[in-house]
Amino acid sequence: MAALLSIGIILSMVKEMIEQRFIYDTYAWIRTPSFHIMLGFTVDEISFYIGLTVAVVSTTSCFYSIKYMKEKHDQSSYYMNLLFFMAGMIGVIFSENLIQFYLFWELMLIPSYFLIAHWGTSKKRATIGFKYFIFTHVGALFMLMGILSIYTFTGTFNFADMPLAIEQAVANSVMSSFDVLAVFVLLLIGFCVKMAVFPVHTWLPDAHTEAPTPISAMLSGLMIKCGAYAFARILLSAFGQTVTQTSDVLAILGVITIIYGGLMALAQTDIKRLLAYSSISQMGYIFFGLGVYSTIGATGALFHVVNHAICKSLLFMCAGVIIHQTGISNVTRLGGLADKMPITCAAAFVGALSLAGTPPLNGFWSEWMIFSGGVFSGKTLITTIAIVSTTITAGYYLWFLWRVFFGTTPKSLENTMKPSWLMRTPIIVLAAVAVVIGIWPDIVLRLLSVQF
């Protein structure tokens, strides 16, 4: 009910967003002689659809959990942590200042750690949960050092005031060019850990594979996108010149992540691990689009945040249906499930082909915009390599679809039962959203844009 309410609240803002393109609300929070911090929430062209995506995917994960987690222990605590996890992500997206942003950032970490460590799928869940906690918390500490450095130099935590405050600090010699670069790198490291960009990605395959499927859908579909949102919200707006100066390095790092994640996905036989490495590759697309520092590239990257969230959550839920009904996660031991799970098969095709950049599905438009941004920014060679690397994405997704849904059905799977509607309905909803956005991308793009 709480998850549905969040969708309703965000949708109630549509009319005002179309008319004003900005909603801002703030309250007195912390008052001391040395500083004054407000508690505020901002809904604008960047945050609106990303926040709505978080609410929609989280709600479908809640419904999916009803059947998937039916036999699991301590369900009340599970749903409590799931809602706190969702609240942390919503808070990050709509935060008005850096302190509030950091508190919600950490709120994402704590419940997600418990969801992995207590409801994981193997005996290694505590170890994997601890690895996940350490990696993401260390990344958050780098980010915190960057946040405190910004306040030390500029005297502000507010997102709206940061660009001008940093510009004035540089002009008044309060910040040197080295100081700006150092703060930029601290923040970038924190965001890259959350985004699982190569080489700080190693926590992701284990955590996403270990987590219960509804949580895997939220981790891969939503949580790692908070790093991309932070990149757009903080680095592109307040450190635009530094992004321009380092754009070649950022673009190359994005392409390396695309290729590395794709090749590792090709080598996997476990469904969830394949999808986890695929998420690393897809985050490379987003990182590339943000790093080339062009309007169309950054807008395409944020559009891909929405599209990947929908389609990767959809694919994880399809994988969960397969594992729940067959008890098998090894792709090589599956086959011929299209007749037994036609809805799951169709939905998996929508998700996989979309992320492979197949028109007219939603993933095609965002990838086209990302690569257009690379060309418009003058990075033709590295963009060409990125485009060619998309064949890897098509390769592992087509292999996955063929091995799971077609070919000969193993005898052990001949009596596989159809999944519950409680698991199929969220899949249908997400697949329908992917198709609608693919046919009518302007429904998102009219309110999602980045201007330089």
What are the tens digits of pLDDT across the range 30-63?
777 777 777 888 888 888 889 989 999 999 999 8
Which amino acid would we find at residue 340? K
pLDDT at 11 > cutoff 70:
no
- Tell me which residue of 89, 352, 38, 127 sits closest to 228, measured CA to CA: 89
pLDDT at 449 > cutoff 90:
no
User: Which residues make Cβ contacts (< 8 Å) with residue 141, sequence separation at least 6?
Assistant: 190
How many percent of the chain have pLDDT more than 90? 64
pLDDT at 70: 83
Question: Among the ranges 9-23, 252-266, 319-333, which has the highest mean pLDDT value?
Answer: 252-266
Give the residue-averaged pLDDT of 195-211: 92
pLDDT at 409: 81
Distance, CA of 256 to chain centre: 18
Alpha-carbon separation of residue 328 from 28, 124, 270, 405 (angstroms): 53, 18, 9, 13
Residue of 379 and 415 predicted with greater confidence: 379
**Considering the domain boundaries, does residue 214 fall inside one?**
yes
Give the residue-averaged pLDDT of 203-218: 92
**Considering the domain boundaries, does residue 450 fall inside one?**
no
Q: What digits encode the pLDDT tens for the residues 416-447?
A: 777 888 889 999 999 999 999 999 999 888 87
pLDDT at 211 > cutoff 80:
yes
- At residue 16 the predicted structure's pLDDT band, cuts being 50, 70 and 90, is low
- At residue 89 the predicted structure's pLDDT band, cuts being 50, 70 and 90, is very high
- Rounded-to-integer distance, Cα 368 and Cα 358, Å: 10
- At residue 306 the predicted structure's pLDDT band, cuts being 50, 70 and 90, is very high
Q: What digits encode the pLDDT tens for the residues 131-175?
A: 999 999 999 999 999 999 999 999 888 888 899 999 999 888 888
**Considering the domain boundaries, does residue 285 fall inside one?**
yes
pLDDT at 120 > cutoff 90:
no
User: Which residues make Cβ contacts (< 8 Å) with residue 327, sequence separation at least 6?
Assistant: none
pLDDT at 6 > cutoff 90:
no
pLDDT at 5: 64
- At residue 122 the predicted structure's pLDDT band, cuts being 50, 70 and 90, is confident
pLDDT at 217 > cutoff 70:
yes
Looking at every residue in the chain, the average pLDDT score rounds to 89
Contact call for residues 362 and 438 (beta carbons, < 8 A): yes
Question: Among the ranges 27-41, 65-79, 341-355, which has the highest mean pLDDT value?
Answer: 341-355
pLDDT at 25: 76
pLDDT at 3: 61
- Rounded-to-integer distance, Cα 308 and Cα 315, Å: 10
- Give me the count of residues in the chain: 452
Which amino acid would we find at residue 400? F
**Considering the domain boundaries, does residue 452 fall inside one?**
no
Q: What digits encode the pLDDT tens for the residues 363-390?
A: 999 999 999 999 999 899 999 999 999 9
pLDDT at 408: 81
Q: Which pairs from 63-67 meet CB under 8 Å and 24+ separation?
A: 63/422, 63/425, 63/426, 64/213, 64/214, 64/217, 64/317, 64/320, 64/422, 64/423, 64/426, 65/212, 65/214, 66/422, 67/324, 67/419, 67/420, 67/422, 67/423
pLDDT at 227 > cutoff 70:
yes
Contact call for residues 267 and 85 (beta carbons, < 8 A): no
- Rounded-to-integer distance, Cα 153 and Cα 132, Å: 32
Place of tokens 């799931």: 82
Give the residue-averaged pLDDT of 306-323: 94
pLDDT at 188 > cutoff 90:
yes
**Considering the domain boundaries, does residue 294 fall inside one?**
yes
pLDDT at 9: 64
Contact call for residues 334 and 403 (beta carbons, < 8 A): yes
How many percent of the chain have pLDDT more than 70? 95
Q: Which domain holds residue 120?
A: 2-445
Residue of 193 and 45 predicted with greater confidence: 193
pLDDT at 412: 79
**Considering the domain boundaries, does residue 89 fall inside one?**
yes
Total domains, the chain:
1
